[in-house]
């Protein structure tokens, strides 16, 4: 039965991207480009060829990549269901190609291949200013179709000087600005054999070193959930707006009937302003617009983009011919095809909405690389955001391949001196390197990946990059073993009310840097132990001692307070074991709790302190305070945006202020996953699912009862199988049901209904129910 099912799944997955190695030395294809001058609007370029297959076909495989993004078609049908291919990597060093089984699309006799190529990440303006053509000025295509006949003979159809090129309906396409599609310029059947391409131009053959070509390493971007309008409204300004009810990343499929030349404009926004009008000021210079021109087809026309994406909940529509009705507009979510692994739910609906927002922030920003935001003129792979969120991300989805691929780009863009770029792939230039908390992605994510998936290979892959990052910091350490060097973002977007009463939670950046330097060193030591690198263990343990000694001498007062008396300062010192065991740590935890009380039980942490805040409190005897912070619903808190109607995580704690006004337009994303890092505390502590050994070979279940919750349940599909924890309190008794997968063991800690007393059970695989 399993073999039959496997065969069926294999058949159904034809045309999907195949993850197989194509020896680059075997490429017979040539890179092809347009031979004519490009129009100012930088339209997509279309390429085509025809070929004749003389024999019965056994198999047919298409290998393809591009400079820019491509969509391939064979005999009028789309190849595969991946979008925004070939994906985003550090192209000069690593350019992915895809491999598709296309036997079902070709036939004995005459066939046609057509490929449209748009600007994509390679040529679109990225970052700030006129930063176009980061990886080249011209679009290009490299493809070959390998056919094996039933008699064992083979034939290859490759891109070469016989192909032709032209422009078509995609008249403009940029990542930030959107796409323009003009159906009056559609070349009907351009991807079929019968099409007359006499007016098309010959291509130009270009020569490139293909050493950067690599097979696809992660899940490609695909279409996922769809949304119909939940409301069609006219704003106070008279704008025609559709609300899809969810802030998402992707685009809107539009159906329309009208006259030839009718023009539809669709703008995208995350929020409406306080008066209920369409709001795009936070997109900065990104136009985020779709422009569609009708050809007058009486049967109706359908539009959707190909080489861009938008971050939005709302769209504003202008020029639509006829009444705007729900059936003609469908929002489609695009993100990397990661498989869901975790679920969390509890008796508090606000926490359930928070979990919803966390997962949708991840969906929207895990679009081939982990981006900071999906809507404005940024959408970059910020390293600090990624390291802060990784642990939560790995609960929600299987991100092993996603991060395996991206970490190789982290290493590829790493400077020779070991500095890590602030964004990966790096489009910001040589100055954007070296900030702690951001550069530490090189150590934190590989180690956390090993903990989650139990695969040493990720440590093997990244070990030299990890060492180089430590080496960079070590090379800039002063004679007192303090890392007082360079630019650091610090505790980005921490609580800063903007007054002069001394309540702004500003943590010294070098104090933060010393903590992260030590933590990364510890993770390198851990990795060296796993890989058997004993000399490195000895060397870096000595370095770690010097760093901690220097920290305590420089930043800890005689009473045990820290120089920066902030929540983040205490959180990092405790989380990263910077303080001696015993009384110094006990004092620091008390000072942290005191600081939380000073702000009326609100957090004040930013990007580097927030991921660890509740963990530190719960590990140091303040679990109730962790719950208090988690359930706080006034600014600043996790639930404040939830009560403001958020459907994703915000960049700022007060993206929308209590009076309804917005934070500064300079930086105010409403889809920014970093503060969603609280998700792993919810999995690990509310439902108690933790890894005691890498890969969850041994599991700890230890739920913390609190927050007036009466039940909570979570599941996590580990590499060894499904783990679940489900507890409820009824009639003064707690019942805990757990599932432990085959091949693993678990330490199950069962609390009483008050959460004060635990009984411990060591169990093997199975399902268990406990009542206390």
Residues labelled catalytic: 378, 651
- Give the DSSP H/E element, type plus range, for residue 715: strand 711-718
In sequence order, what DSSP letters do the residues of 579-619 get, joined into one string? S-TTHHHHHHHHHHHHHHHHTTS-----TTTHHHHHHHHHH
Evaluate whether 647 touches 270 at the Cβ level (below 8 Å): no
Q: How far apart are CA 155 and CA 519, in angstroms?
A: 55
Evaluate whether 127 touches 380 at the Cβ level (below 8 Å): yes
Q: How far apart are CA 569 and CA 605, in angstroms?
A: 9
Q: Which two tokens stand for residue 732?
A: 């003064």
Evaluate whether 22 touches 86 at the Cβ level (below 8 Å): no
Q: What number of other Cβ atoms are within 10 A of residue 302's Cβ? A: 13
β-bridge mates for residue 712, sequence order: 346, 727
With b meaning 16 or more CB within 10 Å and e meaning fewer, what string describes 679-691? Answer: bbbbbbbbbbbbb
Q: Scan for tokens 């010959």, then name that residue.
A: 202
Q: How far apart are CA 527 and CA 533, in angstroms?
A: 8
CA torsion through residues 486, 458, 218, 699, sign: negative
Q: How far apart are CA 650 and CA 632, in angstroms?
A: 16
Q: How far apart are CA 539 and CA 555, in angstroms?
A: 24
Evaluate whether 519 touches 440 at the Cβ level (below 8 Å): yes
What's the order of all strands across the beta sheet hosting 69-74?
Answer: 77-78, 69-74, 109-118, 45-53, 164-166, 201-202
Q: How far apart are CA 373 and CA 371, in angstroms?
A: 6
Residue 437 φ/ψ region, left for φ over 0, alpha for ψ in the -120 to 50 degree band, beta for the rest? left
Q: What number of other Cβ atoms are within 10 A of residue 226's Cβ? A: 13
Mapping DSSP to helix (H, G, I), strand (E, B) and coil, where does residue 272 land?
strand
Evaluate whether 378 touches 253 at the Cβ level (below 8 Å): no
């Amino acid at each position: 039965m399993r073999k039959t099912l496997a065969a069926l799944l294999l058949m159904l997955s034809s045309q999907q991207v195949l993850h197989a190695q194509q020896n680059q030395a075997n490429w017979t294809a040539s890179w092809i480009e347009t031979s004519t001058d490009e129009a100012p609007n930088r339209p997509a370029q279309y390429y085509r060829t025809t070929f004749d297959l003389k024999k019965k076909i056994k198999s047919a495989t298409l290998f393809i990549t591009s400079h820019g993004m491509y969509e391939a078609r064979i005999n009028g049908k789309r190849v595969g269901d991946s979008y925004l291919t070939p994906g985003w990597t550090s192209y000069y060093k690593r350019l992915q190609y895809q491999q598709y089984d296309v036997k079902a699309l070709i036939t004995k006799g005459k066939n046609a291949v057509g490929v449209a190529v748009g600007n994509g990440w390679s040529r679109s303006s990225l970052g700030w200013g006129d930063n176009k053509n980061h990886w080249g000025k011209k679009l290009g295509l490299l493809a070959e179709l390998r056919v094996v006949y039933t008699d064992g003979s083979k034939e290859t159809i490759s891109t070469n000087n016989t192909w032709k090129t032209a422009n078509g309906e995609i008249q403009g396409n940029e990542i930030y600005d959107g796409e323009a599609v003009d159906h009056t310029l559609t070349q009907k059947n351009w991807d079929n054999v019968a099409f007359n391409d006499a007016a098309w131009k010959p291509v130009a053959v270009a020569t490139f070193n293909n050493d950067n070509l690599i097979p696809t390493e992660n899940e490609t971007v695909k279409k996922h959930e769809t949304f119909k309008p939940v409301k069609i409204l006219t704003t106070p300004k008279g704008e025609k707006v559709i609300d899809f009810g969810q802030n998402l990343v992707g685009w809107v499929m539009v159906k329309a009937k009208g006259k030839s030349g009718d023009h539809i404009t669709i703008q995208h926004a995350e929020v409406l302003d306080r008066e209920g009008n369409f709001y795009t000021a936070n997109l900065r210079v990104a136009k985020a617009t779709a422009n569609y021109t009708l050809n007058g087809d009486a049967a109706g026309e359908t539009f959707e983009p190909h080489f861009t994406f938008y971050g939005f909940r709302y769209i504003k529509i202008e020029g639509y011919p006829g009444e705007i009705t729900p059936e003609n507009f469908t929002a489609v979510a695009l993100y990397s095809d990661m498989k869901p692994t975790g679920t969390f739910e509890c008796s508090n609906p606000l926490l359930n909405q928070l979990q919803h927002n966390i997962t949708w922030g991840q969906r929207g920003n895990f679009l081939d690389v982990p981006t900071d935001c999906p809507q404005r003129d940024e959408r970059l792979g910020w390293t600090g955001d990624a390291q802060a969120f990784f642990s939560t991300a790995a609960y929600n989805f299987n991100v092993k391949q996603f991060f395996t691929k991206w970490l190789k780009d982290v290493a590829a863009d790493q400077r020779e001196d070991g500095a890590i770029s602030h964004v990966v792939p790096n489009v910001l230039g040589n100055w954007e390197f070296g900030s702690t908390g951001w550069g530490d992605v090189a150590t934190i994510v590989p180690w956390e990946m090993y903990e989650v998936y139990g695969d040493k290979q990720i440590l093997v892959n990244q070990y030299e990059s990890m060492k180089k990052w430590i080496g960079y910091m070590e090379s800039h350490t002063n004679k007192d073993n303090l890392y007082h060097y360079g630019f650091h973002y610090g505790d980005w977007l921490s609580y800063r009310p903007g007054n002069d009463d001394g309540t702004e939670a500003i943590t010294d950046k070098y104090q933060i840097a010393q903590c992260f330097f030590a933590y990364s060193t510890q993770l390198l030591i851990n990795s060296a132990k796993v890989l058997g690198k004993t000399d490195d263990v000895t060397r870096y343990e000595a370095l770690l001692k010097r760093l901690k000694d220097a920290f305590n001498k420089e930043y800890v007062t005689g009473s045990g307070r820290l120089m920066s008396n902030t929540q983040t300062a205490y959180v990092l010192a405790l989380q990263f074991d910077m303080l001696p065991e015993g009384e110094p740590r006990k004092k620091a935890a008390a000072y942290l709790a005191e600081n939380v009380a000073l702000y009326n039980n609100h957090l004040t942490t930013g990007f580097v302190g927030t991921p660890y805040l509740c963990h530190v409190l719960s590990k140091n005897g303040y679990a109730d305070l962790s719950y208090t912070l988690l359930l706080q619903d006034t600014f600043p808190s996790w639930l404040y945006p939830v009560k403001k109607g958020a459907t994703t995580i915000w960049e700022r704690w007060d993206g929308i202020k209590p009076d309804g006004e917005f934070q500064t337009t300079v930086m105010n994303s409403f889809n920014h996953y970093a503060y969603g890092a609280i998700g792993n505390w919810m999995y690990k502590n509310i439902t108690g699912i933790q890894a005691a050994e890498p890969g969850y070979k041994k599991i700890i279940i230890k739920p913390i009862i609190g927050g007036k919750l009466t039940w909570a349940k979570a599941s996590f599909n580990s590499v060894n199988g499904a783990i679940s924890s489900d507890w409820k309190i009824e009639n003064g008794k707690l019942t805990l049901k757990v599932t432990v997968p085959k091949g693993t063991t678990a330490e199950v800690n069962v609390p009483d209904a008050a959460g004060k007393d635990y009984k411990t059970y060591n169990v093997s695989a199975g399902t268990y129910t406990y009542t206390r």
